[in-house]
Amino acid sequence: MQQFMVEVILPTYFSQEFIDLIPKQRAFINKHFQEGTITGYSLAMDRSKLWVTFMAKDKMQVDAILLKFPVNAYVDYMVHELAFHDSSTVFVPAISLN
């Protein structure tokens, strides 16, 4: 498996049609989070870009997933293969009921 970073360019103006697709987009992303295909999803503060990290066998697999994005008709994207992508997760200790 290889790691990829996708830079998604969002539309300047969010039409109502685009806004209506956002819940479907989030559900799609959550499904791929659970499957382990998507490992990160970030939105720029100015809402101009998304960054999505993928674990995939090749760029063709990433492209195939991007084509299924509910918002695909409204965005442009660039796929970058990564040498590595490190991140940290916040560790929360387990709660003990004792």
The pairs formed by 31-39 with CB atoms below 8 angstroms and a separation of 24 or more are 32/65, 37/65, 38/65, 39/3, 39/85
Distances (CA, A) of 91 to 36, 38, 88, 94, 96: 19, 20, 9, 9, 15
What are the boundaries of each domain within the chain? 2-82
**Would you state the CATH architecture of domain 2-82?**
2-Layer Sandwich (3.30)
Q: Residue holding tokens 């100015």?
A: 46
Q: Is the pTM above the cut of 0.85?
A: no
pLDDT in tens, the chain (98 residues): 999 999 999 999 999 999 999 999 999 999 999 999 999 999 999 999 999 999 999 999 999 999 999 999 999 999 999 988 777 665 556 666 65
Bridge partners for 76 per DSSP: 9
